[in-house]
Homo-oligomer: A and B are copies of this chain.
Amino acid sequence: MRKFVSDKSCRKLLHRSFQNLTQHLHLQHHHHQHKGPLSSVSQSRFLSSSYSSMAPIPSSNPSAPPVTLDNINPKVLKCEYAVRGEIVTLAQRLQQELQVKPGSLPFDEILYCNIGNPQSLGQQPITFFREVLALCDHPAILDKSETQGLFSADAIERAWQILDQIPGRATGAYSHSQGIKGLRDTIAAGIEARDGFPADPNDIFLTDGASPAVHMMMQLLIRSEKDGILCPIPQYPLYSASIDLHGGTLVPYYLNEATGWGLEVSSLKKQLEAAKSQGITVRALVVINPGNPTGQVLGEENQREIVEFCRKEGLVLLADEVYQENVYVPEKTFHSFKKVSRSMGYGEADICLVSFQSVSKGYYGECGKRGGYMEISGFSPEVREQIYKVSSVNLCSNISGQILASLVMSPPKVGDESYDSYCGEKEGILSSLARRAKTLEDALNKLEGVSCNKAEGAMYLFPRIELPQKAIKAAEAVNSAPDAFYCRRLLNETGIVVVPGSGFGQVPGTWHFRCTILPQEDKIPAVVSRLTDFHKLFMDEFRD
């Protein structure tokens, strides 16, 4: 039998980790510590043999399932995520029905307008990006002669550059927890070029899409239900879901539909005060710009007011800027909140700022790659270390997503072989999105009782429907929110999938739905005519 070191000075030095492991629980083990650690081990062995010969333990009932809705984490139970909720489950069921019994439904395909997932509806990826990804996945072909014929010269060159930034060129290795340093350098340079202000690669945390970055910040900031996060209403339900999962309180502020979903600092101020008077400590303000689900693009003056508000109130500004490339109207331009705050003269010491970016949106729409980053600024070294620690528990984000995030922040440049085709693909997608947005917006505004704001940016329309009382009563009768009732009917009769406004939040007593602008252009006439016909029949059926 081995000897164990067990004198007193040694036991005093028990490492903090171990103390953490056991501090909640005074184990029997410790009561026996004066006999030396082996005593408990020997005792275990004794219990082992007696246990084997014991009758089934009567203390619990093996027939009762150990996990039920009554004993799971209530935060999980509470959380909702409408974008993949009830209506989508119904859509999946109808799609299966169409496959099994074609012709059994009043439509021949499901048109998914529920989620910002462009490539699922036929949008093609940017060729240059995919070339680089393929070459980084299989670098063995980089110096083969056939590769020259299959891939553009600048994609081959870029793949070499990227591989040289990865220690050992190992695209199959875990990276630094914040992401590969060379890729963060590229992203920082892209941010600098975009904003005209310096960006530090050490401020970049690469993540599997923007969602994990949002969760990370919520996890950092929320201590209990007494901590609040100011969120727009309507909002992208990732925020409400994440706040619920982390046990905080969503403090809503209403975007003003009458001014094109304007963000009014007075509303922020009012809700902040209301929250404070309820004993809520508001930690952060979420701003989604361009807006999801509302599609508005904030003006620079408005952004300055928001920065000023956060600075004065000591709030972290969580800026969801994933739609930064999706602006469709000439009178609006995307400005990052970092650029705005720096242009006001505010630096690291003045404001805590987090900008979320993703490869899933923009003209690239690479949702399946799960790439993205957050750029943090204004946090102390100690707090940054905590953010680093949390990101290190999951080791790192996927390397293809990291590479893609660097590519979208540093696409081909004038003179590169791919430049013209890249520009053609990009402009083709963005101009088509702008046309689709306009067509759908116009069609929606023609419907009885429907008003739809201008889609300035992002990928969504969020029309308001004035539903007749009879429809509201019919919804009530089946225990449904009126907008969900409308959306379910729309799906069942046309195959069009949209998300009820109640999934995003809306001013009480108003009803909306979110509809993406993503069906391919040749499908748009069908969307418009099915939606128009359905709406007319629906209103005829329920008109008061």
Residues A172 and B369 in contact, CB atoms below 8 Å apart: yes
Q: Which of B6, B147, B508 is in CB contact (< 8 Å) with A509?
A: B6
With A170-B120, A219-B76 known as contacts, the answer to whether A65 contacts B380 (CB < 8 A) is yes
Quick check: is A328 within 8 A (CB to CB) of the other chain? no
Alpha-carbon distance A151/B469, docked complex (angstroms): 64
Interface residues of A in 48-66 (CB under 8 A from B): 48-52, 56-57, 59-62, 64-66
Q: Which of A464-491 contact B (CB under 8 A)?
A: 464, 466-467, 469, 472-473, 475-476, 481-484
Answer yes or no: A350 CB below 8 A from chain B CBs. Answer: yes
Contact A168 B122 (CB under 8 A): yes
User: For residue A117, which residues in chain B have a CB less than 8 angstroms away from its CB?
Assistant: 173-174
Chain B residues with Cβ under 8 A from A537's Cβ? none
- Interface 0/1 of A206-225, CB less than 8 Å to B: 00110110010001111101
Q: In the complex, are the beta carbons of A36 and B509 less than 8 A apart?
A: yes
* Contact indicator B270/A120 (Cβ below 8 Å): no
B258 to A1, Cβ gap below 8 A?
yes
Interface string of A71-102 (1 = CB under 8 A from B): 11111111111101000000000000000000
Give bound CA distance, A378 to B396, whole Å.
Answer: 31
- Which of A194-202, A275-283, A292-300, A433-441 lies at the interface with chain B? A275-283
Assess whether A374 is interfacial by the CB under 8 Å rule: no
Cβ contacts under 8 Å, A505 to chain B: 17-18, 21
A507: nearest residue on chain B (CB-CB)? B37
- Please state if B274 and A27 are interface contacts (CB–CB under 8 Å): yes
Q: How far is the CA of A7 from the CA of B149 in the complex (A)?
A: 68
Judge whether A211 and B383 touch: CB under 8 Å: no
Asked whether, in the complex, the Cβ of A130 is within 8 Å of the Cβ of B140, the reply is: yes
B509 close to A11 (CB less than 8 A): yes
Contact between A509 and B138 (Cβ–Cβ < 8 Å)? no
Q: By the criterion CB–CB under 8 Å, are A390 and B250 in contact?
A: no
Stretch at the interface among A398-406, A422-430, A454-462, A525-533: A398-406
* Cα-based distance from A65 to B4 in the complex (angstroms): 48
Report the minimal beta-carbon distance from A172 to chain B, rounded to whole angstroms: 4
The 8 Å CB contact of A119, one of B20, B119, B173, B212, is B173
Interface residues of A in 31-46 (CB under 8 A from B): 33, 36-37, 40-41, 43-46
Q: Is the CB of A472 within 8 A of B13?
A: yes
Q: How far is the CA of A506 from the CA of B15 in the complex (A)?
A: 10
Residues in chain B near residue A46, CB distance under 8 A: 266
Q: Tell which of A185-193, A239-247, A334-342, A408-416 binds the partner.
A: A239-247
Question: Is the pair B266, A51 in contact by a Cβ cutoff of 8 Å?
Answer: yes
Assess the B270–A44 pair: CB atoms within 8 A: yes
- Does A103 reach chain B (CB closer than 8 Å)? no
A289 interface contact, C-beta 8 A: no
Given A135-B134, A170-B120, A481-B15; A393-B241 close (CB under 8 Å): yes
- A127 proximal to B (CB < 8 A): yes
**Is the CB of A238 closer than 8 A to any CB of chain B?**
yes
Cα–Cα, bound, A13→B26 (Å): 50
Minimum-distance CB pairs A-B, first 9: A48-B266, A15-B502, A47-B266, A15-B481, A120-B173, A134-B138, A370-B398, A368-B399, A119-B172
Q: List 28 A-B contacts (CB under 8 A).
A: A2-B258, A5-B467, A10-B472, A12-B476, A13-B475, A13-B481, A18-B505, A20-B244, A25-B252, A25-B275, A33-B508, A44-B270, A65-B352, A69-B382, A72-B220, A73-B220, A75-B219, A79-B393, A122-B168, A122-B170, A130-B140, A133-B138, A146-B149, A146-B150, A172-B367, A208-B398, A212-B394, A367-B395
